[in-house]
Amino acid sequence: MKLGIVVVYIFGEESAPLLDLHLSYIKRYTGVPYVIYASVNRLEARFRDALAHHPMVRICECPDTPLRSLKEHSYYLDHLVRFAIEDGVSHVVTLHLDSFPVRSGWVEELAGRLSESCLLATIDRINTACLFFHRDFYLRYRPSFFLSPEEREDVVYRKYIDEYDPLQHSGIGYGFTAYRNGKSWYYLKNTTKVDYTGAGRVYDDIIFHLVSAVRTGATYSQPSGWLQSPGWGRFMKMVLAVARVATPPKVRTFLLQRFDSFIDRVVDKPQLVHLATSHAPKIQLFMENPEKYLRLLRKER
């Protein structure tokens, strides 16, 4: 077995302390040969240098993109997975800066969850904080992390959304690929024993995710006025949902193609900034004593 860990590193000063922790936990608990395939576009030089000098990190030269938010993340993940597969890995897992293993044997456990019918092992409605798969899945189906407006208008995609309500984020294309080919996936269970702060979660007692930590930093600029309100974001998403039902398919596809960037700017970005602001104190608390934090989350009742 050779594991390819793919990570899009885009973060700011507030999240920087997580980098050493993320890398050290991967090293401590990964007992199989592995390489971290990293994209560092738009990352500050000092953080790029830290990654470049890490013996298990391979920086992949991905072309720059004007895309932002989840579309940018998906774009880089697509490049990184291709690099890993071409490098001969047997299995691939996506992680975030704020997600990492917390127990030995995690790779073997996730690999054991895969089968001819179960193609993915993941968390939280298909989440790239941990999305694990075999190289054969990629080579057979050639999935993409995000979907085009035309794919999102497919009747099978609408059934997938209605049945599984996946996260509208970068893993959605992998889940849809499995679904439309009659395959399934395994969800790691939330095994968090104590809700210490509401930010961190442990899954199957092997993967930790500090929710929203990578959204704190320089990736997004602070909007002003009513655009910053989470209520505005919810209202806009409701309007868009109604418009989707009431608008003919060809018109919907045209609008999605033309206005994705507008939707991202006035809906997604303010929500991300709001999440980053609300989670910042919890992230700081985690960094004060990560080992204690994790022990509390995993404590037996």
User: pLDDT in tens for each of the 301 residues of the chain?
Assistant: 999 999 999 988 888 889 999 999 999 999 999 999 999 999 999 999 999 999 999 999 999 999 998 999 999 999 999 999 999 999 999 999 999 999 999 999 999 999 999 999 999 999 999 999 999 999 999 999 999 999 999 999 999 999 999 988 899 999 999 999 999 999 999 999 886 656 789 999 999 999 766 553 333 333 444 444 445 445 555 655 565 555 555 555 455 444 454 444 443 343 333 344 456 677 788 889 999 999 989 875 4
CATH number assigned to the domain comprising residue 287:
3.90.550
AA identity, residue 229: S
Q: Is-contact 236 267, C-beta < 8 A?
A: yes
Q: Are strands 127-134 and 91-95 parallel, antiparallel or unpaired?
A: antiparallel
Contacts of 142 (CB under 8 A, 6+ apart): none
Give residue 63's domain range. 3-217+283-298
How many residues does this entry show for the chain?
Answer: 301
Residue 258 located in a structural domain? no
Reduced to 3 states (helix: H, G, I; strand: E, B; else coil), residue 271 is helix
Report if residue 227 sits inside a domain. Answer: no
User: Do residues 222 and 12 touch, judged by C-beta distance below 8 A?
Assistant: no
pTM above 0.95, yes or no: no
Is residue 171 assigned to a domain? yes
Question: How many domains, the chain?
Answer: 1
Residue 235 has what pLDDT?
59
pLDDT of residue 268: 39
Question: How remote is the C-alpha of 139 from its chain's centroid?
Answer: 21
Backbone Cα Rg of the chain: 19
Name the strand (E) or helix (H) holding 208: strand 207-210
Rounded to whole angstroms, the Cα distance separating 81 from 66 reads 20
DSSP 226: G
Whether 292 maps to a domain, the answer reads yes
What is the per-residue pLDDT for 285? 83
Backbone angles phi, psi at 164, to 5 degrees: -120, -15
Would you say residue 234 lies in a domain?
no
Is residue 240 included in any domain, yes or no?
no
**What are the residues whose beta carbons fall under 8 Å from the beta carbon of 128, sequence distance 6 or more?**
73, 77, 94, 96, 145, 169, 170, 171
Indicate whether 22 belongs to any domain. yes
7-39 burial, b at 16+ Cβ within 10 Å, e below that, comes to bbbbbbebbeebbebbbebbeebbeeebbbbbb
- Does the residue 225 lie in any domain? no
